Structure 1
Amino acid sequence: MTPYEFSEASLLDWLGQFLWTLFRVAAMFMVAPLFGARYIPTRVRVTLAFACSLAIFPMLPPGPDVAPFSAQALLLVMQQILIGIAAGFILQLVFDAIVIGIQTVSMSMGLGFAIFIDSQNGVQVPVLSQLHLLLAMLLFLSFDGHLMIVALIVDSFQLLPVSAGGLSPEAFWTIASWGTTLFLGALKVALPAATAVLIVNMSIGVISRAAPTLNLFAIGLPLTIIVGLVVLIITLPSLEVSLIFLIEQATSTIGNLWLMVN
């Protein structure tokens, strides 16, 4: 056989190697922030996943000797999808932490009625949460976060190559434990404004005891909104610090995830 001839076995081997790569990359792109946003058409995401997989799979070590259209291949497909979803889910929680933190502040300020459709997840969130989410996305892009996502998925094939083994039970426990970091990040984002609003509400409570005839709804609600907005504007630069902290924690968790194999 000359170097320009291909056998059926080699073609099936290349097809299998490409499919394992494609399923992992596509699963991560469907869940990860920015790539998995609702405003990005599915066709665009599939095209990006196909292009990235086409660029990645020639550099990968040889995969398992499994026929692409067998029961064992189906198991490998499920494993690659789980690996991609796990990594994308951890990154997505970074931005969910920001949304939850600002949503808590909005509710305590009395702006819970001002809701907006979140274009990232397709759900209703307060306007302030949507504003901070857009700012976080712009900061993420300024940090080359989209390239970081591609680098993470490429590194995953080096640290966790396609094989018969998948993520271990400890890996799924690590993903569940990542939720504690979610609430920590939400607390870091919301704490200054939430504290200021709490102080205002306590002051209004003291005033109501001193002057029972005072119309608290006419004074308390505008005062709470004004104080909350002023504190959010003053502490807006801290959003970058919180985002960097959460991204570093997420990438560290994903790196540890690749080492947890059955």
Structure 2
Amino acid sequence: MITFTESQIMGWLGQFLWPFVRALSMLAVAPVLGHDSIPSRLKVALAAALAFALAPILPANMPSPSTAAALPALVQQIAVGTMLGLAARLAFAAIEMAGDLIGLQMGLSFATFIDPQNSTPSPLIGSFLGVVAMLTFLSFDGHLALVAALAESFRSVPPGASIAQFADAKVFVRWGSELFRLGLHISLPVVAAMLAANMALAILVRAAPQLNIFSVGFPATLLIGLAVLMASLPALMPLIEAALRSGLLVGVSR
């Protein structure tokens, strides 16, 4: 008769529990994989599949779920997984911020609909660039790079180890400033075109005071903004891809 000791059972449970919690925490906030349209049961099943796949590469001397070290290890897995997903999600936030700024300059700040990614009202142009970012993310296998970053995190921060270096706040502060810069670069062509259009409309109103600026200005800025956005989108794609890739690199380098 085959018998198993309690320590063996707890060891096997830890081999599955720690990667499962870390993977589920990452999926809860990660872009694409953590989309609200994906059922929660499917996310749990995906986290379980990742845990089984990652179990063989985990170190043997991990905290047992039955010891006092289990609670700090559990908090560690949640923190590391959340930071992995958040690093990639922030890149999407920067791109959507650029879209919101473009929509504001075009006069489309009132045109909103429910964003399925965040379940909140979102400006039209911001949601459009968010979809573009999502498709770009999938085109260079960003979802697979997230899984690779998750696997690499167990080598750099195994369960029970200190996360002080991993959770360096300065890295995320620098990453946030870099995202703000990228967002401004993405929105710059349309914002510059809108500035020129508004200046032209102001000169036109001064030259012809009888002109109804409200009936002419809004359609003009809308058409000019859409034309510039469509014309500049091919040139903006490298910036969007660079933002998404840098978000993944932040997660891997942690």
Shift of 1:182: 1.8
Instruction: Write the distance in 2 (CA, Å) between the matches of 1:154 and 1:207.
Output: 60
Deviations 1:120-152 (A, max 9, x none): 111111222222211221121111111111111
Shift of 1:87: 1.1
Contact 2:98–2:187 (8 Å) recurs in 1: yes
Q: 1:9 aligned to 7, 13, 20, which one?
A: 7
Deviations 1:98-138 (A, max 9, x none): 11101111111111111111111111112222222112211
Shift of 1:67: 3.0
Moved more, 225-234 or 114-123: 114-123
- SS of the residue 1:173 aligns to: helix
> How many residues are paired up?
254
Amino acid in structure 2 at the alignment position of 1:95: F
Percent of aligned positions with the same letter in both sequences?
Answer: 37
Contiguous gaps of at least 5 residues in structure 1: 258-262
Match status 1:102 vs 2:99: yes
Runs of 4+ in 1 over 4 A off after TM superposition: none
Instruction: Write the distance in 2 (CA, Å) between the matches of 1:226 and 1:63.
Output: 63
Moved more, 219-228 or 154-163: 154-163
Moved more, 20-29 or 70-79: 70-79
Contact 1:117–1:123 (8 Å) recurs in 2: yes
Instruction: Write the distance in 1 (CA, Å) between the matches of 2:202 and 2:239.
Output: 32
Shift of 1:5: 4.7
Question: In structure 1, what is the equivalent of residue 59 of structure 2?
Answer: 61
Match status 1:118 vs 2:122: no
Contact 2:136–2:241 (8 Å) recurs in 1: no
Amino acid in structure 1 at the alignment position of 2:10: L
Match status 1:216 vs 2:213: yes
Deviations 1:51-95 (A, max 9, x none): 11111112222243x330343211111011111111111100111
- SS of the residue 1:236 aligns to: helix
Contact 1:63–1:162 (8 Å) recurs in 2: no
Shift of 1:170: 6.2
Shift of 1:225: 0.3
- SS of the residue 1:166 aligns to: coil
Q: TM-score, normalised by structure 2?
A: 0.94
Question: In structure 2, what is the equivalent of residue 241 of structure 1?
Answer: 238
- SS of the residue 2:168 aligns to: helix
Contact 2:193–2:224 (8 Å) recurs in 1: yes
Q: 2:133 aligned to 131, 136, 139, which one?
A: 136
Match status 1:84 vs 2:81: yes
Q: Kindly report which structure 2 residues correspond to 1:218-233, keeping only aligned pairs within 5 A, or say none.
A: 218-233=215-230
- SS of the residue 1:237 aligns to: helix
Question: In structure 1, what is the equivalent of residue 41 of structure 2?
Answer: 43
Contiguous gaps of at least 5 residues in structure 2: none
Amino acid in structure 2 at the alignment position of 1:199: A
Moved more, 188-197 or 129-138: 129-138
Moved more, 5-14 or 229-238: 5-14
Instruction: Write the distance in 1 (CA, Å) between the matches of 2:236 and 2:40.
Output: 30
- SS of the residue 1:96 aligns to: helix
Contact 1:83–1:167 (8 Å) recurs in 2: no
Question: In structure 2, what is the equivalent of residue 260 of structure 1?
Answer: none
Contact 1:63–1:163 (8 Å) recurs in 2: no
Q: TM-score, normalised by structure 1?
A: 0.91
Amino acid in structure 1 at the alignment position of 2:223: I
Question: In structure 2, what is the equivalent of residue 149 of structure 1?
Answer: 146
Question: In structure 2, what is the equivalent of residue 127 of structure 1?
Answer: 124
| C-alpha distance 134-146 of structure 1, shift in aligned 2 (>3 A) | same
Contact 1:26–1:46 (8 Å) recurs in 2: yes
Match status 1:204 vs 2:188: no
Instruction: Write the distance in 2 (CA, Å) between the matches of 1:47 and 1:15.
Output: 17
Instruction: Write the distance in 2 (CA, Å) between the matches of 1:170 and 1:210.
Output: 59
| C-alpha distance 83-170 of structure 1, shift in aligned 2 (>3 A) | closer
